[in-house]
Structure 1
Amino acid sequence: MKLPAFFIAHGSPLLALEDNEYTRFLERLGSDLGKPRGIVVFSAHWDSPQQLITVDAQHETQHDFYGFPEEMYKLTYPAPGDPALSSRISALFKDSNLCHQPIIGRGLDHGVWVILKKMFPQADIPVVALSVDSMRSPAEQYNIGRMLAPLRDEGILLIGSGGLVHNLRLLKQDDQPEPWALDFDAWIAGRLEAWDLDSLFAFEKQAPHVREAVPAYGREHFVPLFYVMGAADEGKRAQLMIQAYQYGTLSLNCWMVD
C-alpha cells in the first residue's frame, strides 16, 4: 500500500515530555499508520548545502538544545538505522544526478526523534535522516522530494519535520497565536489545498507576514514542506490534520500529502 507523506511541526523539544492536544494527535497518527517498513525524515535541524544521508545501523540520540529541564537530556530514542534503505535512497539520488554524501555517527537530532518518540515510542522502526538545504530554491527542494516518491510504494514513511511559523525571537508566555501567525498559516493552507506551486514557490514575496513567520534565521524550518510535497507530486493532494500553536509564534500543524 502506498503510504502518504507528512509535514509535521516539531515545535519545542519539550513536546517529548508534554501531554496535550498535539502530542495526543501524534500518538494517534502513529497508531493509525501501523508499522511502516522504515521512516525517512527531512529534518530542519540538519541544514547543509550538500544532500546528506545517515547510513548508521544504530542511531545515538542528539540532545541538540540547551537550557531545558534535566529530564530532557535523559530522554533517548534508540532507533535502528537501515543501511540498505540508505543505499536505496542514494541510488534514487544518483539516478537523478543529485550530489549527495553518506554520513556516519551523526545520530538523530531533536527534529527527528521528538516527533517519532510520540508517534512510534517503541523506537523499533528503522530511521534514515536526511538533510535539507534552506538556500536551495523551493523548486529544487520539491524536486529532491520527488526523487524519493518511489519509496512510498515500498512501505516507507516520508516525513518533513520543521515548522511553518517558527519565530523564536517573538515567543510569548502563552499559547494564544499572534494574528499574523494565523494569517500566514491560513495563506499557506489555501495554496496547499489548491496545490498552487507557483504561489507557494513565491511565498517569500507573496505570503502575508512572511518575515515574522519565516525569519531569515529560521528558513530551514519551513522548507521541509517542499521536500515532502515533491514526494506527493503524482497525487497533488494536501489535507490539514491538526492546527495548534505554542508560545504564540510556533505553529504546530501536520499536513498529509498524497
Structure 2
Amino acid sequence: MTIPSLFVAHGSPMLALEDHDYARFLQGLGQHFKIPKAIVVFSAHWDTPTQSMTIDDSHATMYDFYGFPEELYELTYPAQGDSDLNKRIDELFKKHNLNYIPAQGRGLDHGVWVILQKLYPEANIPVIELSVDSTRSPKEQYNIGAMLTELRKEDVLIIGSGGLVHNLRTLSEGAQTDEWAVEFDHWIAEELEEWDLKSLFDYRQKAPFADQAVPPYGLEHFIPLFYAMGAADDERKAKRLFQDYQYGNLSLNCWMFGS
C-alpha cells in the first residue's frame, strides 16, 4: 500500500503543549497508515525564493517564535536526517530541472517539530525539511510536490505544514467560529474532493472570503497544501480527516491525499 501525503495545520506553537481534540487526533494519526521510513515536510515557516533542503545528519530544534510560556522553549525534537533520502530528492529535483540550495545547520522550525512531536513523539524517524516559495504560482508549487510522488512508494511520508485559514490579525478569544472562515474551508473542501485543480489554482478569485482567509502577508501558510497535493498527483484522491477552529478562525484541519 502506497503511503499517502498529508496537509497538516500546525496552528499555534502552543499545539505542542495543548491537550484538545486536534492534539489528540494528531497523536493517533499515524495509525491511519504504516510507519514511514522517513518524513519530508514542506513548512510554511521556511519561505525562500529558491527551493531549499536540509542536509544535516541531525537536527536542532528551532524556537522561531516569541512571547510563549518558558515550557515551550524547553521542548526538543532531536530527529535525525537521512543522507540517502537527500540524494534521492536531489535525483528527483535534477530530473525535473529544479535548482535547489542545500541548507546545513538550519534545524527544524516549529512548522515541522510541533506536529511531528504529536505524530511521532519518539523522534525516531528521519526527517528532511523542504522550503516553500510563496512567489511561485499554485501550479508551480503543485508541480514541485509532484516531483516527489515516487517517494510515497518508497514509504516516505510527505507533509505540507501550514494553515488553510491563517490570518493572525483577525483572531479573537471568543468561542464562536467566524462564518467566513467556515465558508472558505467548505469551498476548499469541495474543490479538493473533486480534485479541481483549475478552480483551486484560481482560489484567490473564486473562493469566498479568500482575502480574509489567505491574506498576502500569510500566503506561505496556505501554499503547503499545493505541495502536499502534488505529491499525490498519481492518485488524485482527497479525504478530510479533521476540521476544527481556534481563536475564532484559525483553521485546524488535516487532509490526506492518495491511499
Whole-angstrom distance in 2 between the partners of 1:26 and 1:232: 20
Partner of 1:220: 220
- Secondary structure in 2 matching 1:130: strand
Whole-angstrom distance in 2 between the partners of 1:104 and 1:256: 30
Is 1:14 the equivalent of 2:21? no
- Secondary structure in 2 matching 1:154: coil
Whole-angstrom distance in 1 between the partners of 2:86 and 2:164: 27
Q: After alignment, is 67-76 or 31-40 more displaced? A: 31-40
TM superposition shift of 1:34: 4.0
Identity percentage of aligned residues: 61
Partner of 2:193: 193
Contact persistence 1:184–1:208 (CA under 8 A) = yes
TM superposition shift of 1:176: 2.7
Partner of 2:108: 108
Partner of 1:3: 3
Q: Deviations over 1:160-180 (max 9, x none)?
A: 000000010111113432110
- Secondary structure in 2 matching 1:255: strand
Q: Structure 2 unaligned segments of length 5 or more: list them.
A: none
Is 1:92 the equivalent of 2:92? yes
Count of equivalent residues = 258
Q: Kindly provide the amino acid, as one letter, of the partner of residue 118 in structure 2.
A: K
Q: Structure 1 unaligned segments of length 5 or more: list them.
A: none
Whole-angstrom distance in 2 between the partners of 1:156 and 1:85: 9
Whole-angstrom distance in 2 between the partners of 1:79 and 1:4: 21
Q: After alignment, is 211-220 or 25-34 more displaced? A: 25-34
Q: Kindly provide the amino acid, as one letter, of the partner of residue 188 in structure 1.
A: I
Whole-angstrom distance in 1 between the partners of 2:209 and 2:194: 20
Is 1:157 the equivalent of 2:157? yes
TM superposition shift of 1:18: 0.6
Partner of 2:169: 169
Q: TM-score of the superposition, structure 1-length normalised? A: 0.98
Moved over 4 A (4+): none
Is 1:179 the equivalent of 2:176? no
Where do residues 8-87 of structure 1 align in structure 2 (5 Å cutoff)? Answer: 8-87=8-87
Whole-angstrom distance in 2 between the partners of 1:88 and 1:189: 32
Q: Deviations over 1:60-98 (max 9, x none)?
A: 000000000010110100011111111111110000000
Whole-angstrom distance in 2 between the partners of 1:181 and 1:249: 6
TM superposition shift of 1:218: 0.3
Q: Deviations over 1:143-184 (max 9, x none)?
A: 000000000000100000000000101111134321100000
Q: Kindly provide the amino acid, as one letter, of the partner of residue 13 in structure 1.
A: P
Contact persistence 1:168–1:249 (CA under 8 A) = no
Whole-angstrom distance in 2 between the partners of 1:210 and 1:175: 22
